[in-house]
A = this chain, B = another copy of it.
């Protein structure tokens, strides 16, 4: 490849001996002490400056998703910390690796579901129009035998407390947009189309909010992972203060039961 000139394009960080710039601005003068971490994250993801309202909702979503107690990912991070306490990065990575389809993927799945439904038609102008649109999308989805993302929660069966708070905040800040409108319609039509009460869940609501404030669909999961990174650090900090991972390990090892594979 002699003679070929390579360049690697980036709009993020570039340094010289005297300066560090980030997205074309001066890191020290324009960012440090001037913007919050949530806002910086929004800008790194989108290369756009959020309005104060968008920034507030972005922070609200990150806060809503940061921790949910002893999730499988939090337990995995703690077990990894137990085994390799000298590599905190390994414990954090181990926890983030559970950020896939079953738990942390709900925001992304809901966002994609809504975005696809909205891409097919002009936006409704009446609540009835939104209901009809949601009803059609949910019905099509259910016809394929798949779950409808954003509906249902294993614990908060009569309603996830994050949902009304996020929606009120979005209205208050005037960033309530078509994705939340569709999401609310999903909640209204769910009992009819699903034959039972299915509450809107917080993770799905976060997906709708993120789309309404301009986060690209491909980065919804990434945003959830950033939020969860803070929660996992909380679990690792707690594991340092009063460990429980050894107790989990002893419990599982102590209750192992050998099963002869031939007898299965």
Spell out A's residues near B (CB within 8 Å): 1-2, 5-24, 26-29, 31-33, 35-38, 40-41, 44-47, 56, 58-60, 62-64, 66-73, 75-76, 79-80, 82-94, 96-105, 155-162, 164-166, 169, 202, 216, 218-219, 221-223, 225-227, 229-231, 233-238, 240-242, 244-245, 247-261, 264
Among candidates B11, B97, B202, residue contacting A90 with C-beta atoms closer than 8 Å: B97
A250 to B75, CA, bound (A): 11
**A240: shortest Cβ distance to chain B, in Å?**
5
A157 to B16, CA, bound (A): 10
Contact A27 B161 (CB under 8 A): yes
> Which 8 pairs from chain A and chain B are nearest by CB?
A84-B100, A44-B234, A83-B98, A13-B69, A89-B99, A93-B93, A37-B38, A90-B97
Among candidates B18, B71, B91, residue contacting A156 with C-beta atoms closer than 8 Å: B18
Contact A102 B80 (CB under 8 A): no
Contact B6 A247 (CB under 8 A): yes
Contact A59 B36 (CB under 8 A): yes
**A262: shortest Cβ distance to chain B, in Å?**
8
**A223: shortest Cβ distance to chain B, in Å?**
8
21 A-B pairs (CB sep. < 8 Å): A1-B251, A8-B252, A8-B255, A8-B256, A9-B259, A10-B257, A10-B259, A13-B67, A13-B68, A13-B69, A20-B156, A23-B261, A28-B162, A32-B165, A37-B227, A79-B79, A80-B97, A82-B98, A91-B97, A93-B93, A219-B236
Question: What chain B residues lie within 8 Å of A59 (beta carbons)?
Answer: 33, 35-37
Q: Knowing A29-B165, A63-B35 touch, does A70 contact B219 (C-beta < 8 A)?
A: no
Question: What chain B residues lie within 8 Å of A238 (beta carbons)?
Answer: 10-12
Among candidates B6, B26, B255, residue contacting A7 with C-beta atoms closer than 8 Å: B255
Known contacts A19-B161, A89-B100, A223-B233, then 17 further A-B pairs from the complex at CB < 8 Å, ordered by chain A residue: A6-B255, A7-B256, A11-B258, A14-B256, A21-B258, A28-B164, A33-B63, A41-B66, A41-B233, A71-B249, A72-B249, A79-B98, A84-B87, A87-B100, A89-B221, A94-B97, A248-B248
Q: Knowing A93-B96, A222-B88, A237-B44 touch, does A69 contact B256 (C-beta < 8 A)?
A: yes
Contact B162 A27 (CB under 8 A): yes
**A32: shortest Cβ distance to chain B, in Å?**
5
Contact A89 B35 (CB under 8 A): no
Contact B101 A97 (CB under 8 A): no
Question: What chain B residues lie within 8 Å of A158 (beta carbons)?
Answer: 17-18
